[in-house]
Amino acid sequence: MAMSVPASEPAALPAGHAVARIWRAIRSNRKATVGTFLLLIFILVSAFPGAIARDSPTLDSYAPNMGFTTAHLLGTNGYGQDLFAQVVYGTWSVLEIALVVGVLTTVVAMLIGVAAAYLGGLWDSSLNVLTDVLLVIPLFPLLIIIAAYAHGATTLVLITSITLTGWSYTARQLRSQALTLRSRDFLEAARVRGERKIYIIVVEVIPTMTSLIVASFLTNALYAILFSSSLQFIGLGDPNTVSWGTTLYGAQNMDALENGQVMWALAPGICIALLGTAFALLNYAFDEIGNPALRPVRKPKRKAVRSVPSA
Amino acid sequence: MRYALRRTGFFLLTLWAALTLNFLLPRLMPGNPAVAMMSKYRNLSPHALLVMENLFGVNSKEGMWGQYLSYLHDLATGNLGTSLSEYPASVTQVISNAIWWTTGLVGVATVIAFVLGTGLGIVSAWRRGSKLDSIIPPVFVVTSAVPYFLIAMILVLLFADTWHIFPNDKAYYVTTDTPGLNLTFIQDVINHAFLPALSLIITTIGTWILTMRNTMITTLAEDYVRMARAKGLPGWRIMLDYAARNAILPNLTGFAMSLGFVVSGAILIEDVFDYPGVGYMLLQAVSSEDYALMQGLFLLITVAVLVAILIADLLTAFLDPRTRAAG
């Protein structure tokens, strides 16, 4: 697996091989392989739920609290709905929130972090204070309050509120990265050329921070999964949305665990954990690929021991 | 000193921002639901009614600015309005009952998680590349992705519903226990707190281990550690007195930053166990549309977190001369 030593050739490859390059990076890192595999499964399930589950997730005409049968792979819940269909159809809602919030928070964090670092002066201090204040206010209680005033959090409310409150952590990281770039020569050159500030930020500064931006997307997607599922779990979600969190709310509300309906609670819960793990693994893997110092230490050691007798 | 002053200034600024956010939220939301709720308060005294009107911005004769000033004045005098679900108790009374359960639970769980997590982090960094050190990071990847409530639910399933070792809800046996300083009550309280505390420890310990491990790895590369090795000091002394002692401060600062996660974990865990603390109360207030209690609890949680961060900041300044010099 680690036999093909990844040399520094990726840079020499033509742009058409970008897919092959990403593919090789994914295969060379075990965390990336597992993370990508998990994420691909969930994307496939969310894209073709009808091909995987026969039942409708909202149809409640079966006998309630059935165990495992061939017709109902995970049994039915207390309302007589097929649990397998609920889990399969619930995938899209969580994935949608994760991807959209991941992209939106990253965009907001990028705009605010980079603008603060690049514009400097009063802009920097005021944006910095805003970021720091948002960073220390506990977000989950705040989201609860917002959802309560919104009378239940629909997908739109979840996406908006998590985006508006969740950008501060990555904005701070992006700002400090952008600060280190500020005095570099290539930016000075752009300034001397007379480029506009917005051009310099978008074309010169942002592309140099790709790895931080990807990390920011993955981190925020993970938080979006956990925050949105938790809000739905405590009953603040939209009851008309089929999603893992709302299924869990039903299970908690009907005391599923105490009544032996273990799958009702565990199946959607484990799905959340697996999807979250996929994003977390990709995040760590991306760090390791981009920053070799973070790679596990024991790997090269073992290789060295093994190669000594053969050499 | 300048550092301490700056942190205190930042604390005051954040406090003001949180109070103002709390004031603005009900006014910003389309179709202020508090309006409907206000009609349920019939027997309120004129003064108590005015407090509620200022809290939510409902048919008040004062302008926005006047409402804001009265709201701040009410807060300064500890008047948070009247609870609807616990009528006629005031919000302050309801909160003062719930706060002790949460303080006890979160306090004990945090101390245990800190001691255990920091210890594991120290050993893990000291024996870098060992079995322990290779297990911890992947385990942390998974636990950081598991929703807090799922861990609590799995513990309930195993220890309460399957093996019947611990009770699965509430803080004591509500029907048989008489709260007070008697042995059965204290035993029952500990019994009931065990699973919620364990859930909180499992959800928070990973951060402790990982930050301690990572700072410890940096300090182990310092010259004074090499000096200690050269002097031939025993390994445990180098580990504890030289490396760990210098690595522990960033762990303290890290705690302040992760406090928000501890709080959200505590809310969800209290919900799973019906544990009568602040988080459980908050969710009760939300489901019974008791907006005054809800806002009071949000304020309390936020202020508690901000004060804890301030204390951690000041402690860092007190313990670490470098932050003081950096001003």
What is the Cα B38 distance to its own chain's centre?
31
**A54 to chain B, closest Cα gap in Å:** 28
pLDDT number for residue A16: 57
Burial of B42 (0-12, 13-18, 19+ CB in 10 A): exposed
pLDDT number for residue A7: 43
pLDDT number for residue A212: 86
Q: Are A33 and A24 in contact (CB under 8 A)?
A: no
> How much is the pTM?
0.87
- Model confidence over A3-14: pLDDT tens digits? 444 444 444 445
Cβ separation A151–B33 shorter than 8 A: yes
CATH homologous superfamily, domain A32-292: MetI-like (1.10.3720.10)
**Assigned CATH for B91-289:** 1.10.3720.10
Top mean-pLDDT range of A128-142, A218-232, B168-182: A218-232
Between A194 and A21, whose confidence is greater?
A194
- Model confidence over B77-107: pLDDT tens digits? 877 877 877 777 788 888 888 889 998 999 8
- Give the confidence band of A141 by pLDDT, cuts at 50, 70, 90: very high
Token representation of residue B242: 């030289």
Residue with tokens 């359960």: B101
Q: Alpha-carbon distance A21 to A161, whole Å?
A: 37
Between B64 and A293, whose confidence is greater?
B64
pLDDT number for residue A177: 86
pLDDT number for residue A96: 95
Which chain B residues contact residue A250 at CB under 8 A? none
Q: Judge whether B250 is closer than 8 Å to chain A, CB to CB.
A: no
Please say if the pLDDT value at position A294 is more than 70: no
Residue ranges in chain B whose pLDDT is less than 50: 327
Closest chain A CA to residue B24:
A146
CB atoms within 10 A of CB B140: 18
Question: Which of A31, A252, A258 faces B168 most closely, judged by CB atoms?
Answer: A258
Q: Are A89 and A62 in contact (CB under 8 A)?
A: no
Q: Judge whether B128 is closer than 8 Å to chain A, CB to CB.
A: yes
pLDDT number for residue B324: 66
Between A81 and B109, whose confidence is greater?
B109
Q: Domain ranges in chain A?
A: 32-292
Q: Judge whether A121 is closer than 8 Å to chain B, CB to CB.
A: no
Which chain B residues contact residue A133 at CB under 8 A? 13-14, 17
Closest chain B CA to residue A141:
B298
Q: Alpha-carbon distance A10 to A18, whole Å?
A: 9
Please say if the pLDDT value at position A19 is more than 90: no
Question: Which of A135, A136, A273 faces B147 most closely, judged by CB atoms?
Answer: A273
Q: Domain ranges in chain B?
A: 91-289
pLDDT number for residue A308: 40
pLDDT number for residue A273: 94
Does ipTM exceed 0.95?
no
Q: Alpha-carbon distance B203 to B262, whole Å?
A: 8
- Model confidence over A60-77: pLDDT tens digits? 777 777 777 777 777 777
Q: Judge whether A149 is closer than 8 Å to chain B, CB to CB.
A: yes
Mean pLDDT over the full length of chain A: 83
- Model confidence over A143-190: pLDDT tens digits? 999 999 888 789 999 999 999 999 998 999 888 888 888 778 888 888
Q: Are A25 and A35 in contact (CB under 8 A)?
A: no
